Structure 1
C-alpha cells in the first residue's frame, strides 16, 4: 500500500454496521459508500470488484454452469494471492454454497451426490459424497448449522433458512474482520458485510413475499434461488447508481 494514511481515513469514515437483522436501514447508503471507496488505490478497487462479484449470486448469475463459477472463484483467489485472509473468505463462501446446494439437491430427491466435482467446491466434497444420507453430511459435529438448515428445508421455512445462511456467512466475515483494522482487507470485509446488511434491510413486506415465493420455487426445483441483482450490478459497475435498491 503506497498511502497507508488514506486507508486509515477511509476505514474511520465508515459507520458501524451493527448486528445482522437488527437495522431497518443501513447506516451508509450505496451512493455514499461508493464515494468513500474512491479513496482506494486502483489495484485494490479492481480486486474489490472481483471479490464482490464472486461472493454475490448476482455477480455470478451470468455464468451458465457451476464449473464456470468454480473456475472464476479459483481465478479470483489467484488474484488475491497477496491477501490470504480474503482468499480464505472466498473459499469458505464457495464451500458454504456447496453445502447449501447439496442440501437442495438431496431435498429435491437426488439419491447420491453424483459427480460432485462438476458442481461442488472445496474441502468437504469428499465428505458430502461419502455421507450423502446423513442430515449433516458427516460434518454436524463442528458445523451444527447444517443440521438446522436441513431441518428448515424439510419444514419449508425458507425465510428462516436464508437467515441461518446469512448468519453463517456473517460469522465468517466477523472472524476474518477481527484480524484487520486499517488495511485493504478491512475495507473489503466491511463492504462484504455491508452487502449482506443492505440486502436484508431492503426487504419490505411485498419484497419479502416475492422473495419467499422465489425461494419456494427454487427449493422445489432444486436450483439456486434468484438474487435481487440490480443494486449489486450497479455496485460492481463504474457508474454511479441512481437508485439505492437492495443488494445481494
Structure 2
C-alpha cells in the first residue's frame, strides 16, 4: 500500500471529535488511536512524538527551566523543515505559552519582564517587555483572548482560565488544519485535537473539577526537579 493511500485510509478511519466542550467522552480510545497512528511511516511517527513533546504539558514539564523548553522548540521546528504548517503551529503554541507565562509572572508580582529571552519565545517578546504594565501587553489586537485571560488569572478562576486557553489552542489547530485533509499534517493536528479533547473530558465530573483545580494550581508553580522526576510521564508515553 502506498504512503498516500495509507494516510487517506488512516485519516478517514478517525472519528469526528466535535467541538471541544461538547464531548462527555472521547469518541476514540487512546489504545485505538495508538494502533491507528502506527500506519504512519517510522519517520512521521518520530516527528509526531516530537510535536507532542513540545506542545503537551507532560512533555515540557520534565524540563528544569524555560531555556530548555525554548531549545527543544527550536530543535523541533528545525526537525520539521519539510512541514512548514507544523513549524508555524509549534511557533504559535510557544508564543501562546509565552503570553500566558508573562501573565502569570506579572500576577505573581514580577515588576518587569526581566531577561525575557530566558523564558519567552517568538515575535511578541519585545512587545511584552515594552508593554509589561498593559493588561494585554498591547497584544489584544493579535491575541483577542489575552485580556480575558488576564482577568481570569487576577480573579483566580483556574478552571475558566484552562477552558479559555484550551479553546484558543483548539482554534489554532483549526486554523493550521485548513487545507490539510489526508496528509501527515492532518494526522498530527487530529492527534493534537484528541489530546485536548481527552484532557478536558477528564474534568467533566465534580471530582474531576476538583482535580483540575489542584492541577492548575500546581501548574502555576513550576515543579521542582524531584517533582518532575517522580510524577511526569515521558513524552513517548503520551501517544507512542
Rounded Cα–Cα distance in structure 2 between residues aligned with 1:40 and 1:233: 15
Preserved contact between residue 58 and residue 233 of structure 1 (Cα < 8 Å) = no
2:237 is aligned to 234
Matches within 5 A, 1:77-96: 77-96=77-96
- In the alignment, is the contact (CA less than 8 A) between 2:47 and 2:80 conserved in 1? yes
Check if 1:212 corresponds to 2:219: no
The alignment's TM-score, normalised by the length of structure 1, stands at 0.89
Does the CA contact (< 8 Å) of 1:53 and 1:236 recur in 2? Answer: no
1:234 deviation in Å?
2.3
TM superposition shift of 1:233? 5.1
Q: Which runs of 4+ in 1 moved over 4 A?
A: 226-233
Deviates more, 1:24-33 or 1:205-214: 205-214
Aligned equivalents of 1:229, 1:27: Cα separation in 2: 26
Larger relative contact order, structure 1 or 2 (CA cutoff 8 Å, min sep 6)? 2
Q: Classify the secondary structure of the residue corresponding to 1:181.
A: coil
Q: Mind listing any 5+ residue stretches in structure 1 that lack a counterpart? A: 238-248
Alignment of 1:1-248 (within 5 A): 3-203=3-203, 204-216=205-217, 218-219=219-220, 221=221, 223=222, 230=233, 234-237=237-240
Residues 152 and 158 in structure 2, CA contact (< 8 A), matched pair in contact too: yes
**How far apart are residue 213 of structure 1 and its match?**
2.8
Which digits, 9 at most, give the CA deviation of each residue in 1:184-221, with x for residues without a partner?
000000000000000100123223202213323554x5
Determine the C-alpha separation between the residues in 1 that align with 2:232 and 2:9.
Answer: 30
How large is the Cα RMSD of the aligned pairs?
Answer: 1.9
Shift of 1:156: 1.2
Distance 1:150-1:217 versus aligned 2 partners, 3 A rule = same
CA distance in 2, matches of 1:13, 1:231: 27
Separation in 2, partners of 1:53, 1:110: 29
State the SS of the aligned residue for 2:20.
coil
